[in-house]
Amino acid sequence: MHHPGPPQFMAVGESVQLAPRDPEPDADYAWRVRSAPVASSLELVDDEAVVQFDPDAAGTYVLELDAPDGTHTLTIRVFPGSYLPAGSVRSGASGMSGMSGYSGQSGSARPTQVSGGASGSGSGAGEAQRGEGGRPRIRLDATVEDDVVVVRADPQPNPNSETDRDDLVVEFVVDDRDEVDETAVETDGWELRVPLSAIGDRLRVHAAAIDETYSVPDTVAVERDALTDGGVAEAEPDATGHTDGSGSEAASVSRPNDPPKWAQEVTLYEIYVRGYASDDDEADNTFEALEKRLDYLESLGVDCLWLTPVLQNDHAPHGYNIVDFYSIAEDLGTREDYEQFVEAAHDHGMKVLFDLVLNHSARDHPFFEDAYKNPDSDYYDWYEWQDNGEPGTYFDWEFIANFDHRNLDVRRYLLDAVDMWADVVDGFRCDMAWAVPDTFWQEIRDRVKAKDPEFLLLDETIPYIADFHEGMFDMHFDTTLYFTLRQVGRGDEPAERILDAIDQRSEVGFPDHAAFMLYLENHDETRYIVECGESEAMAAAGALFTLPGVPMVYGGQEIGQRGRRDALAWKHARDDIRDHYERLIEVRDETPALRYDGSFRRIDYEADSDRVVAFVRDHDEGSYLCALNFGDDPVTVDVGDLAVDATDIVSNESIAAEGGVRVDDVAICPLA
């Protein structure tokens, strides 16, 4: 279906790229505005398949897209420009990229612009009680009660806001793609209700919370549970008159923006494919050499492998300059070799992530070579071009050229590649996610999740962007924590700044259900142990496995590797560092409080060094004091009246000391 996707929430002053999904490049498409706020004079270029939507007034817009499979409607809720989230930038919508992913026509570059009062869904957003903080957050849940779908919103003010939670406003929008009798939909404050009889096979509801800005929207989906004969399953009611919370007609409720369950608990491990096992002279190909390392990785406790790009490239060893999006790099092996490696990883209980590059190709790509300085080329419009005839790119990178995602041939080419590799792996690590149109990511997400709801999408975005949790990505690089750990490791900031980095997630608007990947280093960065030191590296390792998030280890980090992309020095591996990592992985796996469902809280503590930080992780199955020491010498941490069992579960030794607990690098103690 060519429908352009889910409803959009935005503010005056923002811009979003809209396009038909699953496009037929040679087909005819046409856009028009069916309805708009009274103050709007917006028109769309109806003979273009991909358009940039720049609202000129607040309110609700309904757009129409004529496509080969019929006419589709898309609702866009636009808030006044004064509600635009400060510093919130969605990914680029291709065009001229300039020097930044946030500039020019490269997408939802959110310049602040003030506009008049709100209109639209009748929520009274213009009358929201305004706070002094930032972006609110929201979570949607649904039940089916007496054959009525009840969607309930749980809005939360920003931690820095003075707004009372009861004063938050919620805006609901029903997905245009679902068959729903709109006259049967009722909203009352934070609740939306619609009879099951008024919906077809599926109902998706989207909503945003409103304070002084609007939140990252959330989504909940309700699907009828069909019988094999096409009927609707009937279920026996429970003591309350409901069935599994689903009413007398069986229905399934899901939260599409929650990360896959398996991804919440794993330890990720990045493999730089051309260095990790390059010491193996006996293997027939790189994938065979990597396969021989799987026993080692399993013994370490790794659950998920991210391999740097494996596609045919221009011979830069990192692999990100791709010349063929459908073929495995010849120097690594064949597609069969790659798939055999993936199957072997699965046999070892490990998932595999594919490094997905959708912003650019190499300049050695045959399409670019044909297009360069040749406006008559069939591929000229595949790329962005500067006025001087050179391709659009970022940061003056000289070996790549940015795709122009306004071209349906580009989208078709990339979507077909997505389909091919999604069938092989368990998820995508998405390179330069900020440089690809956000609505294109939404399409990719829906596309892969339709085949495998547990498929993982992990975005590389620096700095991270809260909007990317709006139907795009399950997990995000925690770039703020990464830079903070570097500053702390160098001694430029006190260790307590780590807690500020965790708090910043909600302060910038990430919902509580967002997942974050924690990392100290990767193939682009100097090794932490080189930049910061050995004591600091041991403490920072503890941070990865005690702070809320999913830890990632860059291959060699666990053995004290000092070269960024060098062949791993396996013969000089540091057993003490490896043992440290192996034990931290084991402890996290065994301790629910340290994982995704564990909560995080600050505590009062005292220490003689600002190189020390302490906090608590809580869970129904137990709470734990976590303390990290980035200094060279042991430090005693006094936690006051907090009742602590001084047995460190990392060392399995008592670390009791006069006035508190003694911390060498990382300590995790149960609360009594």
Share of the chain above pLDDT 70, in %: 89
Torsion over CA: 476, 487, 88, 106 (sign): negative
Give the model confidence (pLDDT) of 461-485 as tens digits.
999 999 999 999 999 999 999 999 9
Give the model confidence (pLDDT) of 287-312 as tens digits.
999 999 999 999 999 999 999 999 99
Confidence band for 45, pLDDT divided at 50, 70 and 90: confident
| Contact partners, residue 515, CB within 8 Å, separation at least 6 | 259, 263, 264, 474, 475, 476, 549, 550, 596
Residue 435: CB atoms within 10 Å? 24
Q: What is the DSSP string of 212-256?
A: SSBPPPEEEEEEE-B-TTS-BPB----TTS-STTS-SB-EEEE-T
Angle (nearest 5°) at CA 484 between 482 and 488: 120
- The Cα 513–Cα 476 span in angstroms is 12
Q: What is the DSSP string of 368-399?
A: HHHHTT-TTSTTGGGB-B-TTSPBP-STT-SS
CB < 8 Å & 24+ apart, contacts of 37-41: 37/61, 37/78, 37/119, 37/120, 39/116
Give the model confidence (pLDDT) of 580-601 as tens digits.
999 999 999 999 999 999 999 9
Confirm if 43 and 22 have CB atoms less than 8 A apart.
no
288 tagged catalytic:
no
Using CA atoms, how far residue 632 sits from 73, 558, 577, 638, 663, in Å, is: 62, 19, 15, 19, 11
Average confidence (pLDDT) over 328-349: 98
**Which strand ranges, in their side-by-side order, compose the sheet holding 169-174?**
169-174, 202-210, 218-224, 251-254
Average pLDDT, the chain: 90
Three-class secondary structure assignment of 285-343: CHHHHHHCCHHHHHHHCCCEEEECCCEEECCCCCCCCEEEEEEECCCCCCHHHHHHHHH
Give the model confidence (pLDDT) of 607-635 as tens digits.
999 999 999 999 999 999 999 999 999 99
Confirm if 120 and 168 have CB atoms less than 8 A apart.
no
Average confidence (pLDDT) over 520-528: 97
pLDDT for 246 beyond 80:
no
Start-to-end CA distance of the chain, whole Å, equals 57
Tokens 């000289």 belong to residue? 398
pLDDT for 227 beyond 60:
no
Confirm if 457 and 474 have CB atoms less than 8 A apart.
yes
pLDDT score, position 132:
52
Average confidence (pLDDT) over 411-417: 98
pLDDT for 285 beyond 80:
yes
Residue-wise over 33-71: b if at least 16 C-beta within 10 A, else e? beebbeebebebeeeebbbbbebebbbbbebbbbbeeee
Average confidence (pLDDT) over 360-371: 98
**Identity of residue 566:** D
Residue 397: CB atoms within 10 Å? 14
Tokens 């193996």 belong to residue? 280
pLDDT score, position 86:
75
- Which of 431, 470, 493, 558 is catalytic? The answer is 431
Give the model confidence (pLDDT) of 144-164 as tens digits.
999 999 999 999 999 999 999
Torsion over CA: 46, 48, 50, 53 (sign): negative
- Which of 364, 384, 460, 478 is catalytic? The answer is 460
- The Cα 213–Cα 199 span in angstroms is 32
Q: What is the DSSP string of 125-161?
A: GGGPPP-SS---EEEEEEEEETTEEEEEEEEE--TT-
- The Cα 181–Cα 92 span in angstroms is 35
Confidence band for 517, pLDDT divided at 50, 70 and 90: very high
Tokens 């492998």 belong to residue? 305
Confirm if 217 and 138 have CB atoms less than 8 A apart.
yes
pLDDT for 523 beyond 90:
yes
- The Cα 303–Cα 346 span in angstroms is 10
Confirm if 131 and 159 have CB atoms less than 8 A apart.
no
- Listed range (59-63, 111-115, 488-492, 659-663) with the worst mean pLDDT: 111-115
460 tagged catalytic:
yes
Average confidence (pLDDT) over 350-370: 98
The DSSP bridge partners found for residue 186 are 193
pLDDT score, position 225:
77
Reduced to 3 states, what is the DSSP secondary structure of residue 202? strand
- The Cα 421–Cα 418 span in angstroms is 6
Residue-wise over 575-586: b if at least 16 C-beta within 10 A, else e? eebbebbebbbb
- Residue of 110, 326, 361, 145 whose CA lies nearest to 247: 145
- The Cα 60–Cα 37 span in angstroms is 6
The values of phi and psi at residue 347, to 5°, are -65, -25
pLDDT score, position 88:
53
Share of the chain above pLDDT 90, in %: 87
- Residue of 91, 105, 99, 95 whose CA lies nearest to 385: 95
Give the model confidence (pLDDT) of 84-137 as tens digits.
987 655 433 333 333 333 322 222 222 222 222 222 333 333 333 334 569 999
pLDDT score, position 234:
40
